[in-house]
Amino acid sequence: MNAVLEPVVEMLPMSARDIDDILRIEYRVYSHPWSRANFTDSIDSGYSCWVCRVGGELIGYFVLMLAVDEAHLLTIGVIEKRQGLGFGARLLRHAMEVARLGGAATLLLEVRPSNERALALYRHFGFRQIGVRRGYYAASAGREDALVLARALEEIRA
């Protein structure tokens, strides 16, 4: 019988050494990517920054800003070839757990109304729209609104 070895999935704190790999993903998956300075500043500011590695390969990441009673998911990304396989869900679940353990009662995030996969993921995890920020995002033609979503963190199930 052949044993099928699943690659190890690890969730690890982001370090400056990860940023080259992150930017390679970021520039592929975002139309308006974060810069190196955005990631460096996030780490230096003490934001909760994490990467997901599968068999050692960096395949996803997120940046979370923790405030007194709420947390804000600033960015999340998964490498194209691994999208749709549940890694976004793993990252989001981890972000919610980190936020909850950090004392946040609510997790907030912004998302483009056109980003159907991300919206489906957030809705699956119980995020609800609480507002709209008009013209929040740069877009190919002018500006695009952001939907503001929130999710209470008292219980986390997926």
Give contact residues for ligand COA (rule: CB under 6 A): 29-30, 76-78, 83-89, 111, 115, 117-118, 120-121, 124, 158
38 vs 115 by CB, closer to ligand COA: 115
Is residue 78 within 8 A of residue 84, CB to CB? The reply is no
Give 57 or 103: the residue with its C-beta nearer to ligand COA: 57
Residue of 119, 73, 115, 111 whose CA lies nearest to 93? 73
In sequence order, what are the beta bridge partners of 154?
A: none
By beta-carbon proximity to ligand COA, the closer residue of 3 and 82 is 82
* Cα→Cα distances 130→59, 127, 151, Å: 30, 9, 10
Cα–Cα dist 51/27, whole Å:
16
Q: H-helix or E-strand containing 86?
A: none
Question: What SS3 state is found at 91?
Answer: helix
Q: What angle do CA 11, 13, 19 make, to 5 degrees?
A: 105
